Amino acid sequence: MTQAPGGGTAGRWAKRDASVVWHGFTQMSSYLDDAPVVVERAEGHELIDVDGNRYLDAISSLWVNTVGHRVPELDEALRRQLDLVAHSTMLGNTNRVVVEFAEALASVVPVDRPHVLFASDGAAAVEQALRIAFQLWANRGVEGRTSYLAFGGAYHGDTVGALSVGAGGFGTEVFDPLRFPVLRAPGFDDPSCLDVAAAMVAEHAHELAAVVVEPLVQGAAGMQMAGPEGFCELAEVCRRHEVLLICDEVATGFGRTGTLFASEQCGLRPDLLCLGKGITGGYLPLSAAVAAGHVFDAFLGPDPSPRTLHHGHSYGGNALAAAVALRHLQLLEERRVLANVGVRSAQLARLLSAGVAPLPGVGDIRVKGLMVGIDLDPPGPAMRWGRRVCAAAVRRGVLLRPLGDVVVLMPPLTVTAGEIERIVAVLGQAIAEVTAS
């Protein structure tokens, strides 16, 4: 067992932190009581705190890490780019390594004649896709196509546009007056959600700019999953009624679900594809909205022109991030990472079903690739089982963070068989400790 976080040097660093840092989605008045892990360095799949305690990063640093920390090839790509240039603007100009990465990305995304608009965070990529979809109709001179269809349980990020297409919750209700209205299909916890969404698209097509969906897995909804079959029908209805399809693969992209993109398993070729998180293997902030050729073409015209996309971010297409992202894409192939996801996913499902599902207090368990949600079923409200189980796992050296009473497992895509065993064993002990108390 590792030393409890919060004591020793970590306790002092946490206090320094709390006096100057404001952590998102964290109640700062009790932040220190929850013994935050104070990371100093990392090796492979483990984070190491300032006291030398090691934590298996079983949430991939909030779903961004893919092939581990301090990967020699990625470190090298970053160092090499540092000797060239760290950043130059992509507004009206370009950068060699960004072009190279865009070409590599264009060759693997399930998007026809792709054009890549870079940003830094997932929410910004979604925001860009929403803006592109909205303006496309204005550029085409079509009136009334100003709304979006999104799903219950959806999460697309925290900017106002992304929050609007998201289903809310997570304590964000205070912002509800800021959110623009959207058509809302049921969430993935309803097996008919895709059929209902398809029917809603057919009925409301004349007012819809786009449909926004997370293919296969709604991550932040607690790893709610929909089978691949229903997505084809939704895409077909969108195509028939000329409603744009935006696939948000910020969480599912870059191998998480067993294919490079979840859209591939669903037979989808979206008009707009949102990418982020794993795009740099978890090294640097980079995101992208990838637009199909026919979407891109709708913005061509004279200069100056209202057809131009007047949207862009200072750090969109950062050269350091692009250099790492380019090497990372090659590494996924070289290390046969997708094959590992398949094998480790099957092992994880097997071990969870044998060792965790039978435990008292455990409900449904959902696994897709290396995205896992384990429902805890506390006997009463406000028992914070999710938080307490994850805290008990952290004390045992496995870093977890829940979504309410859903324990999330998101190990790195290169996770080993031994590490999967360790995660499941620790989770079982943590659940037993909390449910017994």
What are the residues binding ligand PLP (CB under 6 A)?
121-123, 126, 155-157, 214, 219-220, 248, 250-251, 276
Residue nearest to ligand PLP (CB): 122
Nearer to ligand PLP, 137 or 231 (CB): 231
Name the minimum Å distance from CB 169 to ligand PLP.
13
Q: Cβ 64 to ligand PLP, closest distance in Å?
A: 8
189: exposed, middle or buried (C-beta count within 10 Å: 0-12, 13-18, 19+)? middle
| Side-chain-side CA neighbours of residue 117 (13 Å) | 26
Nearer to ligand PLP (CB atom), residue 6 or residue 276:
276
Three-state DSSP at 166 gives coil
Q: Which is nearer to ligand PLP, 156 or 396 (CB)?
A: 156
Q: Are 216 and 266 in contact (CB under 8 A)?
A: yes
| Cα 239–chain centre separation | 26
* For ligand PLP, the closer CB: 368 or 396: 368
CA-CA distances (angstroms) from residue 47 to 43, 137, 203? 6, 47, 50
Minimum distance, C-beta of residue 110 to ligand PLP, in the bound complex (Å): 16
Q: Is 254 within 8 Å of 278 (Cβ atoms)? A: yes
Instruction: Work out how close the CB of 215 gets to ligand PLP at its nearest, in angstroms, rounded to a whole number.
Output: 10
Q: Smaller CB distance to ligand PLP: residue 220 or 325? A: 220
Q: Find the angle CA(143)-CA(144)-CA(145) to the nearest 5 degrees.
A: 100
153: three-class secondary structure by DSSP: coil
For the CA atoms of the chain, what is the radius of gyration?
22
Q: How far is the CB of 214 from ligand PLP (least distance, A)?
A: 5
Minimal distance in Å, beta carbon 122 to ligand PLP? 2
Residue (287 or 435) nearer to ligand PLP, CB: 287
Return the sign of the alpha-carbon dihedral for residues 164, 233, 341, 429: positive
